[in-house]
Structure 1
């Protein structure tokens, strides 16, 4: 298995988790009070999963001596 395979599995699992959490939120009994710890936990989990998916998709800047900061341009030699 390659790292690309692992990332594909990670994305699929996170997407599944997002859907399961969303389904649980949708089926949550109403009315929901603002201090409902279980519901608030689900909302927090939903945000964490969304952040993890965004992190997997976001390009990462890796500083090098030729490009020490984002937007510094690419020096050619």
Structure 2
């Protein structure tokens, strides 16, 4: 069965949102007090950041330079 790229990206977003929610719940339920050197808690925070960054990357507009547009500000070269 062939999956379109849009479907695959939508599934990735859904999985990442689910993972982020699980991490948020784990962080919220983490026992207090939390010291700055708590490796497990810091690991949860790092994972949450990575998941959020992955979601941001899926939503970001990507500029692909071509010979006619070497930078986003250059516009389209006409000849």
| Aligned twin of 2:49 | 47
Distance apart, 1:31 and its partner CA: 0.4
How many residue pairs are counted as aligned between the two chains?
77
Superposition CA RMSD, Å: 0.9
Provide the TM-score with structure 1 as the length reference: 0.95
Provide the TM-score with structure 2 as the length reference: 0.92
d(CA) in 2 for partners of 1:51, 1:63: 23
Distance apart, 1:68 and its partner CA: 0.9
Q: Name structure 1 gaps, 5 residues minimum.
A: none
The runs of at least 4 consecutive aligned structure 1 residues that moved more than 2 Å come to: none
Q: Name structure 2 gaps, 5 residues minimum.
A: none
Distance apart, 1:8 and its partner CA: 0.3
d(CA) in 1 for partners of 2:7, 2:45: 29
